């Protein structure tokens, strides 16, 4: 049974799902040293933001297959190191979207009306209305940096407050922005124009410190900054300077470059900033949502099903992934077949995708082919995460050809390498090999098969059957394919038993048999 470590206080709803399938060890608070000590025994790890899954942790994670981040950001996980080790990293991009959106708007309202400061004075026995005069949101311009789901949600709510919304996001089209009622601008224009600026970008090398003192100096002195995305996007030292020197009017910050925020941070002593301790996802509903999302992803991954929320795989919407899933299994089996048929090392492989699936984001199909090829040849863990890396390390070049045109089948996947060609399709949701080296066949690639090109003459099938019976090897299926080459056929046998080398040699020595290629799929 798989063993799962749930750290950082994962909601019980997700834990209960996992416990139906696996052995779960719950550690709500765990030190880095303890994580290093115990991680070798676990197959899966779930964290929130407290635990740091660094390269030294991953070096000791001998059994680890998947890391689940119960939240959106994965900056506390060394994704590159995980990818190199074939460890899937998943997150929950939707589970806390509403919570983060609402918290952003709460921070915007709080900073515009000085609500926390006024509340503090009231609790201390004071009453000072003039000191806490605020500003309205109506008729103000909101600048949204990052128009993902949370940024778009904030933009939608801002319009209900009669705000004009402008946005900067290099990955969003004009058409998408128009549908949201948002005007796209460059970052300089946004900084110079907006009355409120809210950040909703991931933290990357490009976005770190993207809002620093030079940008703040171009802003209106009445502007207010909000960051409920990731610490480090707004430079904290520069923000403290801008607030102290009244370069900007105020800020509301929920996330920080180092968490928890240092006790001596200059931000703590400023009257014109609102600070919350990373509460963006801290609602009952969000905590349940992200824990359930990640639990389902881990269950899928450990049962060898693709996961739509994997961050170190191409992003494919769940409804598309559902359609592609059976083709991934087929592609992996085609990869195993082409490796079994190759007598020499493979340096170039072509994957041709025909039909309606060619219009989808089908890059995972090619990756699945590589997974099948390498699984058949290596004794290391190969999966959809590291297959491309392992192939590149071994000098295997992959090319992909896509076409919506087909002849006899709605969809086809064809793999070519070392002058061998194998083609497959689906019958319902079951994969079938329908062509091998121009021979038309119908083969179920879910057990052991023997590929035997032979002379097309009477008695060949009986000859082979007699030989295998002599060695107590049962034939559970047989298909004979023909080609335009006169006098030649291809026999594909499904056998229930392993094929010893001496039996293979004896089969090859039969006069009508040109060759015998064994391929094992699930064994």
CATH number reported for the structural domain that contains residue 458 in this entry:
3.30.70.260
pLDDT of residue 486: 66
Looking at the structure, do residues 335 and 389 belong to the same domain, yes or no?
yes
Which pLDDT score, from 0 to 100, does residue 142 have?
98
Using alpha carbons, select from 426, 392, 317, 303 the residue that is nearest to residue 361. Answer: 317
Mean pLDDT split into 10-residue runs, the chain, 523 residues: 94 95 93 96 94 95 95 88 91 89 98 97 94 97 95 97 96 91 97 98 89 98 97 97 98 95 96 96 93 94 84 78 89 94 91 90 89 82 85 91 82 94 93 93 92 90 92 92 76 91 93 91 70
Which distant-in-sequence residues (6+ apart) come within 8 Å of 44 by Cβ?
2, 3, 4, 5, 22, 64, 65, 66, 67, 68, 298, 301, 302
Three-state helix/strand/coil letters over 87-111: CEEECCCCCCHHHHHHHHHHHHHHH
Cα distances from 45 to residues 1, 58, 298, 424, in angstroms, run 15, 11, 9, 36
Say whether both 401 and 519 belong to one domain.
Answer: no
Same domain? For 102 and 84 the reply is: no
Task: Report pLDDT for 225.
Answer: 98
* CA-based torsion, 296, 302, 304, 306: positive or negative: positive
Report d(CA 295, CA 283) in Å as an integer: 18
| Phi, psi dihedral angles at 176 (to 5 degrees) | -65, -45
Say if residue 401 is in the same domain as residue 468: no
Q: Give whole-number Cα distances, 450 to 47, 495, 506, in Å.
A: 46, 8, 13
**Residues with catalytic roles:** 230, 259, 278
- Which tokens hold the place of 346? 């493979």
77 and 107 housed in the same domain: no
Does some domain include residue 192? yes
Query: Do 259 and 110 share a structural domain?
Result: yes
- Cα–Cα distance measured from residue 316 to residue 284, given in angstroms and rounded to the nearest whole number: 28
Domain count for the chain:
4
CATH assignment of the domain containing 185: 3.40.50.720
Q: Is residue 280 part of a domain?
A: no
Do 214 and 80 lie in a common domain? Answer: no
Residue 432 lies in a domain: yes
SS3 357: helix
Predicted confidence at residue 484, as pLDDT, reads 63
Q: Assess if residue 120 is contained within a domain.
A: yes
Residue 309 covered by a domain: no
Question: In terms of domains, do 110 and 198 share one?
Answer: yes
Whether 42 and 133 share a structural domain? no
> What pLDDT is recorded for position 73?
79
Write down which residue in 437, 464, 498 finishes a domain.
437
Last residue of a domain, one of 257, 275, 293: 275
Alpha-helix runs per DSSP H in 134-220: 149-160, 174-179, 187-193, 213-216
Range of the domain at 411: 314-437
Which of 402, 437, 472 marks a domain boundary? 437
Look-up of token digits 């900073």: 111
- Residue owning tokens 């070519």: 416
Examine residue 308 and state whether it is found in any structural domain, yes or no.
no
Q: How many CB atoms lie within 10 A of CB 490?
A: 24
CA distances (Å), origin 459, targets 19, 52, 371, 470, 511: 57, 67, 39, 17, 11
Query: Which CA distances in Å does 150 have to 14, 85, 289?
Result: 23, 32, 15
Same domain, 119 and 14: no
Q: Are 18 and 24 in contact (CB under 8 A)?
A: yes
What is the spatial order of strands in the sheet that 517-520 belongs to?
A: 475-482, 488-495, 448-455, 517-520
User: Taking Cα atoms as reference points, which of 52, 115, 58, 113 lies closest to residue 81?
Assistant: 58
We report the CATH number of the domain holding residue 323 as 3.30.1330.90
Is residue 158 included in any domain, yes or no? yes
**Same-domain pairing of 290 and 405:** no
d(Cα 223, Cα 142) in Å, to the nearest integer?
A: 10
Identify whether 415 is part of a domain. Answer: yes
Q: Which residues pair with 141 in a beta bridge?
A: 164
Q: Do 342 and 208 sit in the same domain of this protein?
A: no
* CB contact set of 396 (below 8 Å; sequence gap of 6+): 346, 347, 348, 349, 370, 373
Tell me the backbone φ, ψ of residue 174, rounded to 5 degrees: -60, -40
Phi and psi at residue 348, to the nearest 5°: -135, 135
Backbone angles phi, psi at 237, to 5 degrees: -65, -45
Separation CA 209–CA 409 (nearest Å): 53
Give the span between the Cα atoms of 459 and 232, in whole angstroms: 76
């Amino acid at each position: 049974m798989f063993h799962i470590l749930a750290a950082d206080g994962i909601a019980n709803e997700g834990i209960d799902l996992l416990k139906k399938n696996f052995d779960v060890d719950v550690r709500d608070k765990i030190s880095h040293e303890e994580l290093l000590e115990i991680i070798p025994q676990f197959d899966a790890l779930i964290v929130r933001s407290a635990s740091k899954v660094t390269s030294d942790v991953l070096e000791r994670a001998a059994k680890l297959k998947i890391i689940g981040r119960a939240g959106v950001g994965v900056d506390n996980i060394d994704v590159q190191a995980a990818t190199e080790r074939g460890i899937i990293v998943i997150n929950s991009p939707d589970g806390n979207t509403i919570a983060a959106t609402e918290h952003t708007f709460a921070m915007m309202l709080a900073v515009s009306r000085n609500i926390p400061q006024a509340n503090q004075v009231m609790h201390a026995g004071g009453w000072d209305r003039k000191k806490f005069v605020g500003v309205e949101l109506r008729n103000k311009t909101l600048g949204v940096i990052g128009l993902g789901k949370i940024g778009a949600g904030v933009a939608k709510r801002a319009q209900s407050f009669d705000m004009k919304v402008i946005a900067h996001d290099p990955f969003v089209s004009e058409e998408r922005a128009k549908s949201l009622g948002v005007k796209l601008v460059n970052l300089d224009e946004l900084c110079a124009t907006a009355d409120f600026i809210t950040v909703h970008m991931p933290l990357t090398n490009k976005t770190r410190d993207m809002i620093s003192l030079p940008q703040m100096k171009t802003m209106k002195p009445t502007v207010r900054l909000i960051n409920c995305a990731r610490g480090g996007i707004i430079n904290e030292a520069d923000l403290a300077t801008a607030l102290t020197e009244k370069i900007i009017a105020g800020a509301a910050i929920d996330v920080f470059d180092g968490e928890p925020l240092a006790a001596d941070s200059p931000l703590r002593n400023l009257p014109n900033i609102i600070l919350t301790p990373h509460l963006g996802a801290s609602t009952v509903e969000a905590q349940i949502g992200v824990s359930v999302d990640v639990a389902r992803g881990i269950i899928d991954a450990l049962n060898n099903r693709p996961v739509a929320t994997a961050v170190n795989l191409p992003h494919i919407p769940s409804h598309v992934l559902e359609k592609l899933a059976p083709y991934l299994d087929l592609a992996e089996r085609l990869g195993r077949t082409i490796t079994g048929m190759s007598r020499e090392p493979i340096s170039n492989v072509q994957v041709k995708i025909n039909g309606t699936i060619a219009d989808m984001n089908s890059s995972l199909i090619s990756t699945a082919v590589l997974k099948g090829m390498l699984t058949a040849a290596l004794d290391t863990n190969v999966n959809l995460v590291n297959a491309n890396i392992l192939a590149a390390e071994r000098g295997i070049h992959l090319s992909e050809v896509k076409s919506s045109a087909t002849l006899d089948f709605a969809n086809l996947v064809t793999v070519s390498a070392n002058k061998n060609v194998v083609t497959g399709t689906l019958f319902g949701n079951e994969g079938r090999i329908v062509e091998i080296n121009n021979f038309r066949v119908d083969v179920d690639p879910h057990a052991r098969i023997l590929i035997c090109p032979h002379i097309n003459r009477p008695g060949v099938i009986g000859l082979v059957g007699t030989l295998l019976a002599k060695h107590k090897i049962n034939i559970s299926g047989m298909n004979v394919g023909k080609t335009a080459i006169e006098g030649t056929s291809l026999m594909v046998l499904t056998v229930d038993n392993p094929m010893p080398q001496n039996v293979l040699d004896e089969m090859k020595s039969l006069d009508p048999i040109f060759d015998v290629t064994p391929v094992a799929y699930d064994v």
